[in-house]
Amino acid sequence: MDNKITKYLIYLFSFVNLLDFVTALFILPGESNPIFLLTKSFFIVFLFKLIINIVLFYYVYRNVYTSYFIYYSYIIVMLYGILMFCLGVASNIIGILNNDIVVAASQMSTQDKVSSYSFMVMFLYLIPASLSLLSFKLYEWSIDDMNLERGCFRTKL
Establish if 149 belongs to a structural domain: no
- The total number of structural domains in the chain stands at 1
Establish if 24 belongs to a structural domain: yes
Q: What is the pLDDT of residue 57?
A: 94
Q: Are 49 and 113 in contact (CB under 8 A)?
A: no
Helix or strand or coil: residue 147? Answer: coil
* pLDDT digits 0-9 by tens, 7-62: 999 999 999 999 999 999 999 998 889 999 999 899 999 999 999 999 999 999 99
Q: Supply the range of the domain harboring residue 37.
A: 4-142
* pLDDT digits 0-9 by tens, 102-142: 999 889 998 998 888 888 888 888 899 999 999 999 999 99
When comparing pLDDT for 118 and 96, which is higher?
A: 96
Separation between Cα atoms, residue 146 and residue 51, nearest integer Å: 40
Q: What is the pLDDT of residue 120?
A: 84
Helix axis angle, 4-24 to 42-62, nearest 10°: 180
Q: What is the pLDDT of residue 154?
A: 61
Establish if 95 belongs to a structural domain: yes
Band (pLDDT 50/70/90 cuts) for residue 156 is low
Establish if 150 belongs to a structural domain: no
Which pTM does this prediction carry?
A: 0.82
